[in-house]
Amino acid sequence: MNAVIRAFTLRAIHEFGWRVVGFLDGFAGLIDKQFITLDEKQVFKIASQGGTILGTSNNVDPFEYYLPNSTSPIDVSDRVLAYIKELHIDALVTIGGDGTQHMAYRLFKLGVPVIGIPKTIDNDLGGTDQTFGFDTAVSIATEAIDRIQTTAESHHRIMLVEVMGRYAGWIALYSGLASGADIILIPEIPFSLERIKDQIDARVRDGHKYTLIVVSEGAREEGKDYSIMKMVKNSHDPIRLGGAAAQLGQRLEEETGIEARATVLGHLLRGGVPVSSDRILSTRYGAGAVDLVADKKFGHMVALRQGKIASATLEEATMALRLVTPDHELVARAKQVGIIFG
């Protein structure tokens, strides 16, 4: 996100002479009237930093806002609209995934001049071929799986690695294929416990002493629901998934007699230094968003299409999640090299 902020700010200042401000903690900054002015000195060397210098929030929705100690949300969008007018904001640039862009689209329909930039490590936002943050998450996941694989081989275990991906299995698919996993489980393809057990048994007969399974947090068994870790009160998205790998590992150990261990990578995938491809894509997105603002192409989101920077409407971006299809080429290639999807 810092690389996006840097690119947008530098181009907006140098080429157009605009004043750029950053609202702190996302939509919370718009509601609580908290922002800073961004200048060249502040953003010049932040491209290599993970996270965001502005902060963020994943449970603040202007249309369903929870006051402290309140159990019922209220609509404070009128407060946001008034504050935008008060500051004479010519364009509001929102950086985020489906939730963020959905809120942005609702504000746009109320008359706010909004431009979106696609960010989510899940890579599941519609309207674009890729979101920034995804490559870094896959890189971190792949390295972690590589390390776990050596332990699995030494101790002759079933090793399960749970990665983020609530409803889309892109991280599991890419990192599992890159690390040579034996089984990849993703939300889009419900798995059969018997088929996984059969695959493990076949590997044992063939002389393999371990099995490596990459599991999306949203992976689920055929006919069953997601593994829910907890529900978060006062959130517009209260469901928190988790535990899919641990539950499956326990059942496989009981069924096969082979010791199973589960590792949850979780928020490790969100942190650290971004890989170069993400910094480049973020820079392209940030600079490209300036074009949309200059052209007053509001209600649109900068996007990547066939390798080129383009745009998509916020309506298109939020219409449906971009999911892995069972006939996706990478699914087919994975199967061709012996990986099963349960």
pTM of the model: 0.93
pLDDT tens column, 166-219? 999 999 999 999 999 999 999 999 999 999 999 999 999 999 989 999 999 999
The β-bridge partners of 231 are 239
Element (H, E) at 21: strand 20-23
Give the pLDDT of residue 230.
Answer: 62
Q: What is the pLDDT of residue 72?
A: 87
Angular region, 303: left φ>0, alpha ψ -120 to 50, beta rest? beta
Alpha-helical regions (H) of the chain: 2-11, 27-32, 40-43, 77-86, 98-109, 134-155, 170-179, 193-205, 244-256, 276-294, 314-319, 329-336
Q: How many of the other CB atoms lie within 10 Å of CB of 24?
A: 18
Per DSSP bridges, beta strands 300-305 and 308-313 are antiparallel
Residue 73 backbone dihedrals phi, psi, to 5 degrees? -75, 155
Residue stretches of the chain with pLDDT short of 70: 230-240
Sequence-distant (≥ 6) Cβ neighbours of residue 257 within 8 angstroms: none
Domains of the chain: 2-132+274-319 (3.40.50.450), 135-271 (3.40.50.460)
Residues annotated as catalytic (active site), given as ranges: 122
Residues 6 or more apart whose CB falls under 8 angstroms from that of 304 comprise 128, 129, 130, 281, 284, 285, 310
Residue 106 and residue 101: Cα distance in Å, rounded?
Answer: 9
pLDDT on residue 224? 85
Segment 31-48, tens digit of pLDDT:
999 999 999 999 989 999
Task: Check residue 59 and give its pLDDT.
Answer: 81
